[in-house]
Structure 1
Amino acid sequence: MSWIEQYRAMARYNRWMNDKIFDVVGKLDDVERKRDRGAFFRSIHGTLNHILLADRTWMGRFTGDVARFTSRDASGKAVEITSLAQELYADFADLTRERAGTDADILAWIHKIDELALSSDLTFKMRNGAVLTYPLWGLVGHFFNHQTHHRGQVTTLLTQMGIDPGVTDLFAMLRDEASAA
């Protein structure tokens, strides 16, 4: 299997898991969703916001289209990012809609790139001004790993609440895809 095939599978997994998690989390009321549970980003809602913020930051870097991946408020004004814990969307319906749109963008982008692109370097600027250069394949790997890491925190929080988030294994998605084919 090539890198690109692996990353396309990870993009599908990202959407599959986000659909599952958002379905489960959507059944919680706002108080439970936003309750500080001692996680890195305090709450389930805060963690889901962080994943979206990071995904949009990386997609802006990957595509070179920072404006497209800039979060906007209800009036359309760009949201200035000041913290990785910043809440982009207080309303869960807005967060859900924006998550689904970003997942579609990730899938579209990963199907546009090829192995040659993955073997190139990407130079980008961090929020602190540092300019870094890394191989794109490694950054894309980090991107998908980051999502999985923080979704794992969400599933832990759900489990601690007595809520079963369901099967989260990549092979379960692959099995579902094979059954549907």
Structure 2
Amino acid sequence: MSTPEHFVLLAAYNADMNRNLYAAAANLPPGELTADRKAFFGSLAGTMNHLLAGDTIWLKRFATHPADFPALAAVAEMPQPGGLSHIFSDDLPTLRRHREQLDAIISAWAPQLTAAGLAHAFEYRSTRGDVYRKHFGSVLMHFFNHQTHHRGQASTLLTQADVDIGVTDLLLWVPDLAPTTP
């Protein structure tokens, strides 16, 4: 299973990739951010809003973990999104501010994770009210994978609009190891 250090790496990767995504989106001609591209959430703005909604919903759930992560205290003040298609805004600067706020929380929270906390059986309710009880470390893997999945969709939408997001491979964030001595 993943270690706390893996989640620190994923938090850094996601924050960097989100900065790249928003910087690339800033190069779109007017109207392209909200243009219907027939993506699952319609437009690039729809996809970005979905990522914000999903992350906010999950972070609010994670704030109920018995470890009582101090970095997640700020999410208690955030309004609960109306669902996974919640629209925070169609304005890129507004979306970026919300994204940066969430990424700062995630980056501060990841180092607070422990092996014991990751092994915890975590209970939460879906947006439909269904109750689930899952291994917390596995739920966190989903949380970070969900960002990567939809950011990949956003990257495709940008590519279709002739805007390059740059290299997206996690491998570039994996630290190099010192050479071994024979």
Same fold (TM > 0.5): yes
1:134 is the counterpart of 2:134: yes
Alignment of 1:79-158 (within 5 A): 81-158=81-158
Equivalent residue letter for 1:98 = H
Alignment of 1:36-47 (within 5 A): 36-47=36-47
- Which one has more relative contact order, counting CA pairs under 8 Å at least 6 apart? 2
Distance, in Å, in 1 between the alignment partners of 2:91 and 2:76 is 18
Distance, in Å, in 2 between the alignment partners of 1:81 and 1:53 is 6
CA 1:71–1:45 in 2, change beyond 3 Å: closer, same or farther? farther
Q: What does residue 75 of structure 1 align with?
A: none
Q: Which 10-residue stretch deviates more, 155-164 or 38-47?
A: 155-164
Q: Secondary structure at the match of 2:134?
A: strand
* Alignment check: 8 A CA contact 1:56 1:70 kept: no
CA 1:48–1:71 in 2, change beyond 3 Å: closer, same or farther? farther
Q: Which 10-residue stretch deviates more, 164-173 or 10-19?
A: 164-173
Distance, in Å, in 2 between the alignment partners of 1:103 and 1:137 is 19
1:69 is the counterpart of 2:69: no
Equivalent residue letter for 1:35 = A
Normalising to structure 1: TM-score of the pair? 0.86
CA RMSD of aligned residues (A): 2.3
* Alignment check: 8 A CA contact 2:25 2:33 kept: yes
Distance, in Å, in 2 between the alignment partners of 1:84 and 1:67 is 22
How far does the alpha carbon of each residue in 1:126-165 deviate from its partner, in whole angstroms, 9 at most, with x for none?
Answer: 1211111100000000000000000000111111122221
Q: Secondary structure at the match of 1:122?
A: strand
Q: Secondary structure at the match of 1:111?
A: helix
The count of residues paired between Structure 1 and Structure 2 equals 171
User: What is the aligned-residue identity percentage?
Assistant: 37
The Cα shift of 1:81 comes to 3.2
* Alignment check: 8 A CA contact 1:120 1:135 kept: yes
User: What 5-or-longer segments of structure 2 have no aligned partner?
Assistant: 178-182
User: What 5-or-longer segments of structure 1 have no aligned partner?
Assistant: 73-77
Q: What does residue 167 of structure 1 align with?
A: 167
